[in-house]
Amino acid sequence: NAGVTQTPKFRILKIGQSMTLQCAQDMNHNYMYWYRQDPGMGLKLIYYSVGAGITDKGEVPNGYNVSRSTTEDFPLRLELAAPSQTSVYFCASTPSDSNQPQHFGDGTRLSIL
């Protein structure tokens, strides 16, 4: 049982480039989340989804986009990478609502230079 799988683990981008961070879960969870973690700032919610075809903004959505075409996958898209988006990105999932304990992936460390 893999749980939540994130790829890639590391990536360096140039300013203005685009990329997609992949997240997949095999637990049949309905809810999925994207967070960014910056030193001393904790985890900030970027986007979340309560089921396939449904997404909504979190606390810090600017500069990001998401889609949820299947229950398993929840990719995060950066269209025009900026240095402020240098961070560690975590994907998480819960069975049915955000009150439940979250299952996290191991993160993607992204540097924008």
Partner 1 sequence: TQLLEQSPQFLSIQEGENLTVYCNSSSVFSSLQWYRQEPGEGPVLLVTVVTGGEVKKLKRLTFQFGDARKDSSLHITAAQPGDTGLYLCAGVRNKLVFGAGTILRVKS
Q: Tell which positions 18-57 bind partner 1, by CB under 8 A.
A: 35, 40-45, 48
**Does residue number 101 form part of the binding site for partner 1 (CB under 8 A)?**
yes
Instruction: Determine contact, residues 90/21, Cβ cutoff 8 Å.
Output: no
Give least dist CB 101 to partner 1, A. Answer: 4
Q: How far is CA 39 from CA 1, 43, 45, 68, 104, in A?
A: 30, 9, 15, 29, 18
Name the residue nearer to partner 1 (CB basis): 3 or 75. Answer: 3
Name the residue nearer to partner 1 (CB basis): 28 or 101. Answer: 101
7: left (phi over 0), alpha (psi -120 to 50) or beta: beta
Give least dist CB 6 to partner 1, A. Answer: 8
Write the single-letter amino acid at 25.
Q
Name the residue nearer to partner 1 (CB basis): 47 or 112. Answer: 47
How many CA atoms does the CB half-sphere of 6 hold within 13 Å?
A: 24
Which residues contribute to the site for partner 1 (CB under 8 A)?
A: 4, 35, 40-45, 48, 58, 90, 92, 98-99, 101-102, 104-107
